[in-house]
Amino acid sequence: MIDGFNDPLVDIHHYSPTLNIAQLLTFSERKGLGITRAMVQNYIRDGLLPPPKGRIYTRKHLAALVMIQQLKAVYDMPTIKAVLVPYMDGEGLPLETYARLTALREVAQDKWAEAVAPTFAGESAGQLAEMAWVAGYAAFTAGGAQ
């Protein structure tokens, strides 16, 4: 993992299996994701995120939100929807898929950082991680997540 990068993919399994909107937003705030209540509502309306059951979200919703936010750095919303939605079930992104993406992403980040660090010496760890995300996501989609 790249030092200093606040990666929300690391600790999602430590959160409660069920969450309310306030807990989702607290997670987002702590991880610097910038997810707002309006964004969650828009993702549900646009079919990017399954609706909660009642007002209860799950870790799968949280996983989907993290992936959407990460992918927004690189892709437009129609592309994100086309790629992520087929992997989702009725509650969000399955945790097995999330774990596989996390593992692929970490390997890609490490390899990418080693390869490009001398070239991008002036870039921050977060910028290098974002570049690595592109490589990790390409490996994820090429390998099929399910």
The total number of structural domains in the chain stands at: 2
Distance between CA atoms of residues 56 and 99, nearest Å: 22
Predicted local confidence at residue 132, as pLDDT? 62
64 by Cβ neighbours in 10 Å (0-12 / 13-18 / 19+) ranks as buried
Distance between CA atoms of residues 135 and 127, nearest Å: 13
- Same domain? For 105 and 143 the reply is yes
Task: Name the β-bridge partners of 18.
Answer: 58
Predicted local confidence at residue 111, as pLDDT? 75
Residue 70's nearest CA partner among 111, 112, 95, 98 is 98
- Same domain? For 99 and 81 the reply is no
Q: Provide, for the chain, the percentages of residues in helix, strand and coil under a 3-state DSSP scheme, each rounded to the nearest 5.
A: 60, 5, 35
Q: Tell me the mean pLDDT per 10 residues along the chain, length 146.
A: 47 82 91 92 94 93 88 84 86 82 73 69 61 60 50
59: CB partners within 8 A, 6+ apart: 12, 13, 15, 16, 17, 19, 92, 95
Q: Do the Cβ atoms of 53 and 3 come closer than 8 Å?
A: no
- Same domain? For 20 and 85 the reply is yes
- Same domain? For 23 and 76 the reply is yes
Give the global pTM: 0.69
Q: Do the Cβ atoms of 85 and 48 come closer than 8 Å?
A: yes
- Same domain? For 27 and 68 the reply is yes
Q: State the residue range of the domain holding 29.
A: 10-93
Predicted local confidence at residue 20, as pLDDT? 95
Domain end (from 93, 108, 128): 93
- Same domain? For 31 and 59 the reply is yes
- Same domain? For 79 and 124 the reply is no
- Same domain? For 72 and 143 the reply is no
Predicted local confidence at residue 133, as pLDDT? 62
CATH code: domain of residue 60: 1.10.1660
Distance between CA atoms of residues 130 and 109, nearest Å: 9
